[in-house]
Chain A
Amino acid sequence: MKLPTLNIYSLVKAPLIHQDLIWDLTFLFGGLSVVYFSCIFYYKSKLKKHNVDKAKRKKELTPLVSEFLFYNEKEGSLPEKNSYINKKIEIRELLKNHKNKAVLTEILLDLKIDVSGETRLVLFKLYRDLHLDEYAFECLHSFKWVKVARGMFQLTQMQATEYYGFISKFINDRRPVVREQAEISTVTLLHEGISYFLDNTKYKISEWQQLKILEVLTNLENFDPPRFYKWLTSKNKYVVLFSLRLIKHYDQNDGEKSIITLVKHKDAQIKKEAIHCIKKFNFTNSRKQLKAVFWKNKVDVKIAILDTLAEFGFEEDIAFLETVENKESNFLVKSKAISSINSILPGTVVPTENIEVLTPEENSSIKVNIKEETLKVDLTEEEEEIIEHILTEREVGIIDDNSIQTKGSKSSVFESLFNFCDLETKLFMIDQMVEIGSKKEALFLQTLIDHGNKAVRKRALQVKLQLEKSVDLLENGIDYEQNETTAKKEDVEVKIVENVNVLLRDNEIQVIHNTQLKSLEFCFLKEEVVVPKPFDILEVEFHMDTLKPFISKERQETEGFNNVVEANGGLTKDERNFFNKYLEFPNSSKDKFNG
């Protein structure tokens, strides 16, 4: 037996590439290039020809359509009627050509956008008269999905409601484009179409489809939406999601229990949508549920929950929000928790980072500088009288210092205004804080020391120090005699005015909350923030209760507060009766002055 000789050389030898094959390929590609070259110009010319042909047909058909649209059968004379009938015959003849049918349909679809009312109804009638609906209906039986969808689209646009039954069968078609068009058509053709759709759809409803269906519903005339909460129990989660969105859109707040339950749904989108509904309808009963599910969720759902709590949360929710703030690692959620806390109780959390702490030396050195600047406050005679009066009362010991408490908002009234005004107003507001500021303003000014604007920073620092000085004077009691010996008389006067201002403001806030007067915040927000006026002591709204701290408790108890007020420069009995009878009783001394 002879073993085959191993020819290594033949094994390592590269297989031969047939150059003829390469040249064949070259000619093939060359040939295809020529074909494509021809196709480019053939198609270009075909396109041009098609456009010209279409324009020609449009030119021929458009006047006929216009004539049909605006022809009035009742008022038309006999020759006009004859002409009308002849044209109808003519157009029917033209419609035997499929190209004409397509062009005419296109003309009618375009016209539908431009006409309305009666004319639009005539247009729909004409569409049927010319049997174009039958042509579109034929398309529904086509194997090509694009033809079926286009047929449905045309019938829908022309309000061919008689085909509703045929079209609605397609809502569960396996071809996506056909199915989606069927859904739109079903909802458009009949008002109850939306119910049918939500009841029967088995497929997922894309976000885009939801958007389009909502747009259709919004444009339906005299549409009375069904109660969408009925579909919140659907097995198709997309139906549930869409129903929630429809509930929100149509303000249907009758499914509270179901909506709150959906907060526990496994799908994050449904959960989020349910939370949005809860927020919109203020379902405060959901607070427990929201807090219970909070930790299991993703960031966006957590933020939605916090946002909702911010909207209608109570003080008892603060503890939960604080836990979130402390435990949550995500910055956005943490920030949202803080903002929610501040929404429920404004000013609870104040900035702590990047706040400069000044050393006592720095403080005193600035104080010395400020002392050199003399504050000038121009007071009218009336103002001086009031101050004199209050100071006299104070000197005789009527003022009960314990009764002077800051109530109401925990943050400065300026804080909410500050971010919404321009630089000039910001500086103006800071200036005003010298006059009416208290501890809260001092705290707020502390935060402004880190402000991005240099001018704001500088002014805030100056005013803060002035304010701290005056607040100190107020809180620690002022030894006027000592002051008289150590400082100039004018300085003392200014300090007194500042303290009185603070005093008045504190009391005024307290009373506003008690009597539900228009609050100072609102005065600023609605009127003052646009055109800020200089502070005027008489512009401040304060109640007669302002005098309460100045009247001894014993006297109030024995004589009654109102009597004391009336006897101490308040209204006379006659005045009071007059106002009670004809006008609102003036609650402020400003009212009284005006009166």
Chain B
Amino acid sequence: MDNGVFNIILDYINIVFFVFTVVLFTFFTLMGYLSTRNSLHYKDKNSFGDLSKVMASPLAPSITIIAPAYNEEMTIVENIRSLLSLKYVDYEVMVVNDGSKDDTMQKMIDAYDLEKIEQRIDPNWKSKPIRGIYKSKHRSFAKLTVIDKENGGKSDALNTGMYLSTNQYVGCIDVDCLLLPDALLHVVKSFYQQTEKRVIAVGGVIRVANSCVINGGALEQINLPENLLAKFQLLEYTRSFLLGRMAFGWLDSLLIISGAFGFFDREIALAVGGYDTNTVGEDMEIIFRMRRYMVENKLPHTIEYIPDPLCWTEVPESRKILINQRDRWSRGNLETLYTHKEMFFNPKYGRLGLLSYPYWFFYEWLAPLLEFFGFFSIILFYYLGIINLPFFIAITSVIYMYSIMFSLYAILWEVFSYNQYNKTTDILKLIGCALIEPFIFHPIVVFAAVRGNYKKLFKIKSGWGTITRKGFAKAT
């Protein structure tokens, strides 16, 4: 009898895994379909007309790009130069020096001939003290504002920028990101084209810039990353941004926009108190809060998503840095989901509560944990001799085939929509990555997620960690 009960339990475990897998497949297939529809619509809609004509329109809104900088002395001057050369008239670049310990501030002062200006600051504004606000003496750098403040983390720096900006829209980006010249035009279009709903935020695709050739702040040549980890990440980003977020965008259920390229309606962002300084997943958390604010105040709203490759960034090439990054992401994910737990299957929040939140809960937070514990259970069951080997092999095969299929679909869509990697060998390499990813890259990501959850659960202190950038390759 005992053995019988144990077998029943095992059978139910199999059922749970099977159902979980089937739902996952259904969800991802649906996502593929929706993203295809959305991408086709987007492509057709933007197939004629010229964006750049409106860049100097008197009706074009003013935008502030906030770029927090912490110990960026090596690249700061060049990165600011790149931000200052965007194709748009009415914008401001606000670099927030978040108490850098190196020479970041001095480098900026010297390169852009900055001088301190006087500005009244709300004494009740909660952020780390501002040491000074600087503007350039040169007209050519009139768009640049540098804020020097005490260290308070990325969120605190972004909040300071958001508060000091006077423009209608603020863009929060990573200072080491490369924005394409017409990025702001796309952003403005996204903010401005809606009439039924208020666009509270705009996000976009993040592209992998490793091994690409950059010259004078402009992307000159797109190459496939040479590093294997970077290649895996490229494939992952393609799947996530081109299929996942595009589908959620179509459903108007986006609950995250990347911290590397996110634009906000400043009024709403300030109304919810800006970024949360107590979480490492601030980019996701602010979207949750803004969405909730709008729903609770019964204000029709939406978040737009731009699939055009406008923002390029360097991804980690070392395993250690990658694990740190993913560890932080999973902690942020958990913190945000916990903070907004009222949304879980709450019909009050519509699709956000019934679809997006559960997706994030089950497939972004829970899935890696299930995978991790499932893996050890299988080893244990095998050792105990109670594993249902045929079932295990069958379910593993179907999951593996599905992951390959989904990755290939993402590559196909990349070729169809933007075709950024012209060489056939590049595509073959990406397909190769799709084949081996479940054995090499995926375990690393799962491990990082488990580590993040473990740290969060046992309150092990861990901050942002550092990402060492190699810097973009310069054109020769």
Contact = CB atoms under 8 A, between A and B. Distances in A.
B267 interface: yes
A33 B401 contact: yes
Nearest to A248: B58
B192 A29 contact: no
Contacts of A332: 122
Contacts of B188: 208
Interface in A142-165: 145-146, 149-150, 153
A13 B12 CA distance: 8
B63 to A, nearest CB: 14
Contacts of A40: 408, 411-412, 415, 427, 431
Interface stretch (A211-219, A360-368, A371-379, A489-497): A211-219
Nearest to B61: A207
Contacts of A66: none
Nearest to A335: B120
B227 interface: no
Nearest to A238: B195
A43 B427 CA distance: 12
B278 interface: no
Contacts of B192: 206-208, 211
B49 interface: yes
B14 interface: yes
B58 A214 contact: yes
A36 B419 contact: no
A279 interface: no
Contacts of A419: 117-118
B44 A22 contact: no
Contacts of A214: 57-59
A15 interface: yes
B409 interface: yes
B195 A26 contact: no
B8 A13 contact: yes
A206 B390 contact: no
Interface of A is mostly: helix
Interface stretch (B246-254, B348-356, B392-400, B448-456): B392-400
B397 A14 contact: no
Given A36-B408, A146-B47, A177-B45, A26 B193 contact: no
Interface residues of B, number: 59
Contact of B398 (A25, A39, A238): A25
A469 interface: no
A535 to B, nearest CB: 25
Interface in B97-130: 115-118, 120, 122, 124-125
Contact of A30 (B8, B44, B401): B401
B415 A211 contact: no
A211 B189 CA distance: 10
Given A40-B408, A206-B193, A19 B391 contact: yes
A569 interface: no
B404 interface: yes
Interface in A419-466: 419, 422, 452-453
Given A19-B390, A153-B48, A33 B404 contact: yes
Contacts of B12: 14
Nearest to A204: B195
A136 B408 CA distance: 38
A331 B401 contact: no
A150 B11 contact: no
A23 B400 CA distance: 12
A547 B25 CA distance: 96
Contacts of B376: none
Contacts of A39: 412
Interface in B371-404: 390-391, 394-395, 397-398, 401-402, 404
Contacts of A30: 401, 404-405
A-B pairs with lowest CB-CB distance, top 10: A14-B11, A204-B195, A29-B401, A208-B192, A207-B192, A36-B408, A331-B122, A22-B394, A146-B44, A208-B193
9 contacts: A12-B8, A13-B11, A14-B14, A32-B405, A36-B411, A40-B431, A146-B44, A177-B44, A422-B115
Given A14-B8, A331-B124, 17 more contacts: A14-B14, A19-B394, A22-B397, A23-B398, A26-B394, A29-B404, A36-B405, A36-B412, A41-B427, A145-B44, A204-B195, A204-B196, A208-B192, A214-B57, A214-B58, A238-B195, A419-B117
Interface of B: 4, 8, 11-12, 14-15, 18, 25, 44-45, 47-49, 53-54, 57-61, 115-118, 120, 122, 124-125, 132, 137, 188-189, 191-196, 267, 390-391, 394-395, 397-398, 401-402, 404-405, 408-409, 411-412, 415-416, 419, 424, 427, 431
